[in-house]
Amino acid sequence: AQSVTQLDSQVPVFEEAPVELRCNYSSSVSVYLFWYVQYPNQGLQLLLKYLSGSTLVKGINGFEAEFNKSQTSFHLRKPSVHISDTAEYFCAVSRSNDYKLSFGAGTTVTVRA
């Protein structure tokens, strides 16, 4: 089975500052990796995903993530955050021979002016 660890439960950040959300996974087989954002009382919106190919993945709203196989990481970054980026962020993984998505515990990002 795979597992996902999000290393930071809460990340406060000032507006226009950069942010990095850390995600590590463990799996005995190759994986597909995802980052989702969730606003209060909303469903999950896909920010970006890594399936194969280039390890640097660009997503919506200026987010990007880098897949590092040797470090089993998939950290999410944004160079300059906005107040509207305040939300819960979930890293998720599914095995390449499976189709069930497992989530990390989530990181709460609070952007302050």
Partner 1 sequence: DAMVIQNPRYQVTQFGKPVTLSCSQTLNHNVMYWYQQKSSQAPKLLFHYYDKDFNNEADTPDNFQSRRPNTSFCFLDIRSPGLGDAAMYLCATSSPKGGIANYGYTFGSGTRLTVV
- Judged by the rule CB under 8 A, the positions of this chain that interact with partner 1 are 32, 34, 36, 41-46, 49, 51-52, 90, 94, 99-106
Least distance to partner 1, CB of residue 46, Å: 6
Query: Rounded to whole angstroms, how far apart are CA atoms 95 and 107?
Result: 22
Sign of CA dihedral 68, 37, 19, 64: positive
Least distance to partner 1, CB of residue 106, Å: 5
Measured from the CB atom, the residue of 17 and 60 that comes closer to partner 1 is 60
Q: What angle do CA 93, 45, 42 make, to 5 degrees?
A: 120
Least distance to partner 1, CB of residue 14, Å: 24
Measured from the CB atom, the residue of 27 and 94 that comes closer to partner 1 is 94
Measured from the CB atom, the residue of 85 and 90 that comes closer to partner 1 is 90
Instruction: Give residue 66's Cα distance to chain centre.
Output: 10
Query: Rounded to whole angstroms, how far apart are CA atoms 64 and 101?
Result: 20
